[in-house]
Amino acid sequence: MIKFYGIEIVNDKTGETYRPVYPFAELENRAVLVEFVELYEKELLDFYINGWNHSFGRFCIVNEYKDTFYGISRDLDLSMATGFRDRWYKRGVVFY
């Protein structure tokens, strides 16, 4: 049996929890998922709060582009988003 780790978002005010499907990692890659969340905690929260949770495959941190919002932008070079996701996938974090 394969076990997976995911993330849980808790609203401090209401106690409501949200468990998005993505990102996740197999049990053996838990530390990499923790690293990912620690690196991008603010961006992840903003991403989910702003309703992009329906398309996590487009989550990407790209600071070089003006007006890029976590990888969602008209001007985004999708190869950069793909590269970002691929780098994390090779380490064990699954986006979709």
Angle ∠(7,12,15) on CA atoms, nearest 5: 80
Instruction: Tell me what the pLDDT averaged over the chain comes to.
Output: 82
Other beta carbons within 10 Å of 18: 12
Domain of 66, in residue numbers: 4-94
∠ CA 14-15-16, nearest 5°, is 90
Peptide bond into 23 cis (omega under 30): yes
pTM for the model = 0.80
Number of compact structural domains in the chain = 1
DSSP tag of 38: H
Whether 60 shows a pLDDT value over 90: the answer reads no
